């Protein structure tokens, strides 16, 4: 896996804590915000786009979880998502979940592992 698709060091993410933001580019050249979080001792990555309308979820950079650290929440409209699947759990997402991104963990690092996207910037 090329280092160009390096997202973050695994120890930089706390369980149910602040996520790590990065940008990806799709095959059409469109750049989109994305994020990775740690939940239930695993790592999950998603495009940073609410299922309700195309706004970023975090109210402050990297703040994706509810106060109890159990669900992801859109700060604009309150839509809630399952951290491990991205599924809509309630609110105005109307059943539309988050788009997940494939990631791989290797030697304490997380890499984007998705054929349709590449990392273009980190720590955004």
Which CATH code is given to the segment(s) 3-122? Answer: 2.102.10.10
pLDDT digits (tens, 9 = 90+) for 8-35: 999 999 999 999 999 999 999 999 999 9
Q: What residues does 116 pair with on adjacent strands?
A: none
Q: Residue 76 contacts by C-beta under 8 Å, 6 or more apart in sequence?
A: 50, 53, 55
**In which band, very low, low, confident or very high, does the pLDDT at 90 lie, cut at 50, 70 and 90?**
very high
Higher pLDDT, 36 or 121: 36
pLDDT score, position 2: 56
Provide the sign of the torsion angle of the four alpha carbons 18, 66, 93, 45, taken in this order.
Answer: positive
User: Once rounded to an integer, what is the mean pLDDT over residues 69-95?
Assistant: 94
């Amino acid at each position: 896996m090329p280092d160009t698709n390096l997202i973050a060091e695994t120890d930089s993410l706390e369980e149910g804590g602040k996520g790590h933001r990065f940008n990806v580019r799709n095959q059409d050249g469109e750049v989109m915000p994305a994020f990775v979080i740690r939940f239930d001792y695993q790592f999950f990555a998603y495009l940073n786009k609410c299922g309700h309308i195309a706004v970023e979820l975090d109210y402050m950079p990297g703040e994706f979880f509810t106060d109890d650290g159990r669900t992801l929440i859109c700060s604009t409209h309150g839509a809630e998502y399952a951290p491990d699947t991205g599924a809509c759990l309630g609110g105005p997402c109307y059943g539309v979940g988050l788009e997940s991104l494939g990631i791989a963990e290797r030697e304490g690092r997380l890499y984007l592992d998705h054929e349709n996207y590449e990392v273009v910037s980190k720590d955004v």
